Structure 1
């Protein structure tokens, strides 16, 4: 992936060697994919990285930037795999999954979803898996590993970045419903994302780069979070997030 898609120095997903994914494409193996992400530059980067069909076997048949577009494009193109961002205008990735339930349940040609997000928060991971996604990888993943993940999901496997698999195992091993946090529920999905990055010590400019927004927009989100949670500064915000295990 390009430098703007993540900050990791190595692959976030452990899969077969890159040569394996390339050889599958060269051998004639094909998969039809739709890209769903509200950042055009990121979609362009993914398309450039994995969309060379002759080399990778991946054919990008559609793109979408919000929930309504995603539902319409997926229904129109019936791809085998949808690369789905978690945070989208119009209700997020979970809403796309809810409205695409019939396509996922098709016994002959099911549409399968692989979440691809900057977020590695447990509630984001668990939310889309409960919604029906077949896997979840972060945007630090390399291009060849992403190609491999797409083929595995197409074939029915469940695929996760290594650290995220534990969230899913823990969530589904418990029969207790997750507790309701009224304070956290006041925040929008984007505000939660900014909150976690602030709590991890990122500067405004670093957050802006990761989320493809301006530093001024980050500042506005932080102000909104502080106001809604009735906190005074980022140090109190960090303590609040740490106490709820959001970091």
Structure 2
């Protein structure tokens, strides 16, 4: 007998209470809606508190610095290994899709989606797949290139690093010691330390462990 799929824990983030209530009712029995939030600050707080499997996220939200759904994802970027974000919006504008996907969301669907399709999308995103409404898929590829979403996120953030810093970052993520990196790149250990400090600062990370996770999430190790 096959093991049934786990019931996914979901947080709904939308500034319209009626939509949140309707979505909760539509998803009842299929997912476990553990919390709701109407704005950027409360969304980030409840996501950190609940650490759900999936966040259903509107892209236009009040609060924060005006970044909407993308800002919520960025505020929770250290949780992306555990928490997957699926944008759900009335908007099908390219700039909305691009901003939230660049921030780290795993998919984007419009609010015309059926309840059954949404449950399937939640499961797909929770399992690590990317999900887009059919009419969005074409311009998502146009915006991010044929190499895919992960590649574009990688490029955007790697642009902050020099060529040498990228080399050092890759070796750190592969588990090399500072001494091994120095030997491999023919530089001093002190120089390695300097490069690592700059990489962590530019990527807004605080430790070697976070850097390794950052690189693994983007498949650039």
Fold match by TM threshold 0.5: yes
User: In the TM superposition, what is the alpha-carbon distance from 1:51 to its structure 2 partner?
Assistant: 2.2
Aligned to 2:56: 83
Larger Rg computed on CA atoms = 2
Q: Distance in 2 between matches of 1:79 and 1:153?
A: 12
Contact 1:67–1:88, Cα closer than 8 Å, also in 2? yes
- Structure 2 runs not aligned, ≥5 long: 147-151, 157-221
Task: Classify the secondary structure of the residue corresponding to 2:88.
Answer: strand
Aligned to 2:203: none
Higher relative contact order (CA 8 A, sep 6+): 1
Aligned to 1:101: 77
Q: Distance in 2 between matches of 1:162 and 1:119?
A: 14
Written as runs of structure 1 = structure 2, the 5 A alignment for 1:1-247 is: 27=4, 29-52=6-29, 56=30, 58-90=31-63, 91=66, 92-104=68-80, 106=81, 110-173=82-145
TM-superposition CA deviations, 1:159-203 (whole Å, max 9, x none): 0001101121111129899xxxxxxxxxxxxxxxxxxxxxxxxxx
Q: Distance in 2 between matches of 1:148 and 1:50?
A: 11
CA RMSD of aligned residues (A): 2.1
- Structure 1 runs not aligned, ≥5 long: 1-23, 178-247
Q: Distance in 2 between matches of 1:112 and 1:27?
A: 21
Q: Distance in 2 between matches of 1:139 and 1:164?
A: 13
Q: Distance in 2 between matches of 1:103 and 1:152?
A: 18
Q: TM-score, normalised by structure 2?
A: 0.62
Contact 1:83–1:115, Cα closer than 8 Å, also in 2? yes
Aligned positions, number: 145
User: In the TM superposition, what is the alpha-carbon distance from 1:150 to its structure 2 partner?
Assistant: 0.2
